[in-house]
A and B are shown apart, each in its own frame.
Chain A
Amino acid sequence: MTSTSHHYNNETPSGLRARIGKFFFAEETPFGLALVRIVICIACLLVTVPRWIHSRELFSTDGAPTPLALNYGYPDLLPIPSGGLAVALMTILTFCCATACIGWCTRASLAISAVLYTYLNLLDSISTMTKYSVITSHVLFLLAFSHCGAVWSVDAWLRRRRLGLPHPRSLADHPKFAAWPRRLIQLLIGVVYFGASVTKMHTPAYFSGDQLWHWMITNVNNANPVGEWMTLYPAFLVVFAYLCVIWEILFVFLSWRGWGRVCMLAMGVGFHVMTTLTLGLYLFPLTCIATYFAFVNSEDIVAAAARWRHLKRRHGETWLPRLAAVTRLPRAFSSAVISLLKPVGQRLTPAGSLGVFGLLLTVVSVGAVEVEYRLDIYSERGPDGPLALKEIDPDVAKLMFAGSVRLREYDKLLAFDIGSNIFGGMITGVRDTFHYGDSVIAQCTLSPPHEDMWIECNLHDANNVLIDRVGQIVVRSQLRGNFLYRACDALDPGTYFLVLRTGTQELTRRKIEILPNDAARCRINAN
């Protein structure tokens, strides 16, 4: 552990116990934890702010809460608050996330956030509780035990003002604390990835690329156009699937120092960015990347500061004036706020700060409850009384209640690809022109569920006359059937069709061109 060794003990620890002690209890300045605190609280705010107006509906007895405990057979595990109380709790949570982000009454803010975030999430299993919520709950809980508010926070600023301390100039000027909260966050994210790899090992369709393929054309997350485009190249999904599992397993072992740390974190950022592009996830990547800041140690911050100073000295003349112009407004705002708060900061004791915090929290919560009441989200107290229900179009209703029907044959077909190579069980280099001697591989991909099916891939000429018929049984556990033809001089150069049929009907067809090639001689040969 390069990060903390020389703060804790310059001597090399001798036994396992001493090494574990050094790993968890070496003293360091909590820069990494401060970054985790800031980013995770922003992620929390992205959850709580848009949901605030729906608090009554999602979390209260005056709405439609959906407790997670119900899924496990414990319907009454947690009490469900009334409408006003749910709004107040959501407001307190939002307020505390904001104050934890800026580091004001940090420990209290984080403790309240950890409890309320977990509690409210547990009341809405269908639209709020997800695995990123769980990771956030863990991180908030661990941060509440840490000293992450000791740097880059209002608390640290107030402390310096109160004690008349100068602005810290070096690492030695910052307070130091045991590293264990940072270590636990590091281990948490490593365990999360390891657990995720176990999930993938339990899912055979993950390694065949089928699961990824279908998730990329699923519309339950945000827009994911890159994912939809990638389904045109399914062989890549197999490669990414294996790379991802290898990375998830290795993360907890290699992410501690040196190039291992750089590679694992870079791959992690790449992986999460790809989940945004291909699956439409936003908060999950943000939450996971927030935990990566736990891998930032004091030396990293010192090195980054030195690099920044060097950069400023070397190129500052060019871009510093431009940067100053761009940041003029926020700087003016922050300096105005600081000058306003300066006299307060000099007088405010920790108890006083907590008192102001509590007072403000109460005022905001009561005000928010009143505002929400006046907003009347169900529109029940308007001049016309409660709203009327929306009638369903009778034609649509007729469709809905027409009775269940069996799957259409065409819906069982996911893809029919023609190419010359197979990689990871998938066709690569999809094409429609072949020369004599080329293999023509036709691959039919089916969607589950399907019964044991007889699938034919027949060769028709340009006049749609059947030339060759090949069939095979694709049993219900299989999703693919491959048919191999060889383009050869038994076939005149020209246009042909590969026609995919089930036992009862034609599903689809692909046009292919066969061109002569002097070098190759072969005979027609299917499968």
Chain B
Amino acid sequence: MIKRWLTGFGITAYLGTLLFGIVSHAANFQDGSHPSMYFIVWDMFCGWSAYETRTHIVGQGVSGKYYELSPGPWGDYQPYSNISRHHYDSFNLNPQTIAVNCLKHTAHEPMTRLYVVEEAWAKKYNLPESLWKQRYSEPKEPYSYFHLRTVMTPEGQVTGNSVNWLGYQTNFTISDNPRLQRESRTSAPMFMVRPMSETSSPSAN
């Protein structure tokens, strides 16, 4: 009987957890509060972009030469397709770990700076030539945009970070507005104190 009660409790707890995940996801309530939420929030394919992006992790030596820091010279690891692992770091949270690991296991001249450069191109250029011809009357001429995302010391300490390429381009679409530009200039943020630790006022961010 005790076993049955324990089993019943386990079933209830498990189903309750799954239900909490659904409610949390539906209401955007605490859905990113803890890593455990990743196990109960089912947000597959939640985002999309019209541009394909790749990440280049680059080191600049004292000679001024640039070196590829991922994939490492020992070989590439491609988890799902024919693209390397570091390209899946969509939030740019781990380039320093990858870069420093590469430097640790290779022979190289002293480095001055490490960089993360984002490359982006319109996804329509991913179409094979045969389908391109059916959809577009122009010849296929792919074009890549490059955007410096992060600057790091040779030890992996981040010294500069900028918004990602898509955010950078999105900002243009909004800021091309004389009224908005004028108003934003007249109300430049000025903090006598930084109240961020006390409140979460949007103006403080």
Contacts and interface: CB of A to CB of B under 8 A. Distances in A.
Nearest to B39: A134
A429 interface: no
Given A404-B147, A508-B136, A389 B73 contact: yes
Interface string B79-115: 1110101111101011001101110011110000001
B94 A228 contact: no
Nearest to B131: A228
Interface in B22-57: 22, 25-26, 32-35, 37-39, 41-52, 56
A389 B103 CA distance: 8
Contacts, number: 259
B50 A386 contact: no
B38 A217 contact: no
Interface string B158-180: 00000001101110111010000
Interface residues of B, number: 97
Contacts of A450: 173
Contact of A390 (B51, B67, B131, B166): B67
B108 A388 contact: yes
Interface string B115-127: 1010101111011
A386 B74 CA distance: 9
Nearest to A393: B66
Given A25-B4, A214-B123, A391-B65, A219 B81 contact: yes
B41 A77 contact: no
Contacts of A311: none
Interface string A478-511: 0000000000000000000000000000001111
Contact of A214 (B32, B48, B86, B143): B48
A310 to B, nearest CB: 39
A387 B105 CA distance: 8
A116 interface: no
B127 A184 contact: no
A126 to B, nearest CB: 4
Contacts of A138: 39
Given A217-B123, A449-B166, A210 B48 contact: yes
A180 B26 contact: no
A134 B69 CA distance: 30
Contacts of A64: 94, 97-98, 100-102
A392 B67 contact: yes
Contact of B48 (A72, A211, A508): A211
A68 B42 contact: no
Given A138-B39, A411-B143, A385 B66 contact: no
B77 A54 contact: yes
B172 A451 contact: yes
Given A219-B52, A449-B169, A199 B138 contact: no
Interface of B is mostly: mixed
A195 B25 contact: yes
Interface string A389-408: 11110100101111111111
Given A57-B101, A66-B89, A215-B48, A389 B108 contact: yes
Given A199-B25, A390-B73, A400 B117 contact: yes
A188 B40 CA distance: 10
Contacts of A449: 166, 169-170, 172-173
A389 B81 contact: no
Contacts of B47: 203
B15 interface: yes
Interface of A: 24-25, 51, 54, 57-58, 63-66, 68-72, 74, 77, 122, 126-129, 131, 134, 137-138, 145, 178, 180, 184, 187-188, 191-192, 194-196, 198-199, 202-203, 205, 210-211, 214-215, 217-223, 225, 228-229, 231-232, 280, 284, 377-380, 385-392, 394, 397, 399-408, 410-411, 414-415, 447-452, 476, 508-511
8 contacts: A127-B85, A203-B46, A217-B127, A221-B80, A378-B74, A388-B108, A392-B68, A407-B172
